[in-house]
Amino acid sequence: MKMTTVTSEIRIDASREKVWDVLADLGTVSVWNPFLADSHYTSEAKEGVDASRHCDFPDGGYVEERAIEWRPGEALTLDIYGTVPFAPFHGGYSLVDDGDGTIVTGAIEYELKSDVPVDPQEVERQNREEVLPLLLASLKQYVETGEPMPMPVKELEEIRDANVI
């Protein structure tokens, strides 16, 4: 099976450094990511390649993530493993200055596990139209206002039922 890549971008009204500071604080991702109930570091390293974290979903599921690319102020890529229906699964962000703001591109690259009974096109559609845009909108809101975006329970249930996260 071939790898599927989904990307989305958003403009955040903040400096690249401010956006990077939020993304690079791996252990606190659950503060702004509405898909997560909790998160914490699992490595001694708090930054750089091999920094890692554990993320809990509201339904009791979890993922482990470790940095495999770390370019301060520019790009971050994570290897995501654990209870996700993908193997392999990488997710990341790249940052580009845009006047007094920042263009953030989010990207996920994955291959569905062969034993997961889901429609690959539906998973791709949900990642492209729902998951990644909501994740970036949540990042934008948190960076710009300091306030997290709550996840509507109905949307979370629909996304989880489709085995997208």
The 10s digit of each residue's pLDDT in 79-109 is 998 866 677 889 999 999 999 999 999 999 9
The 10s digit of each residue's pLDDT in 112-131 is 777 777 787 888 888 888 88
| pLDDT computed for residue 96 by the predictor | 98
| pLDDT computed for residue 51 by the predictor | 98
Range of the domain at 137: 4-161
Tokens of 98: 């845009």
Q: Is the pTM of this model over 0.85?
A: yes
The 10s digit of each residue's pLDDT in 9-51 is 999 999 999 999 999 999 999 999 998 999 999 999 999 998 9
CATH code, domain carrying 51: 3.30.530.20
Q: Count of domains in the chain? A: 1
The 10s digit of each residue's pLDDT in 128-159 is 888 899 999 999 999 999 998 876 555 555 55
Cis peptide before 133 (omega within 30 of 0): no
| pLDDT computed for residue 32 by the predictor | 95
Kindly provide the residue ranges of all beta strands, DSSP E only, lying in 34-118, ordered along the sequence: 38-41, 52-56, 62-71, 75-82, 86-98, 101-112
**Is 104:95 a contact under the CB 8 Å cutoff?**
yes
Degrees (nearest 5) of the Cα angle 126, 41, 44? 140
Tokens 């690259």 belong to 109
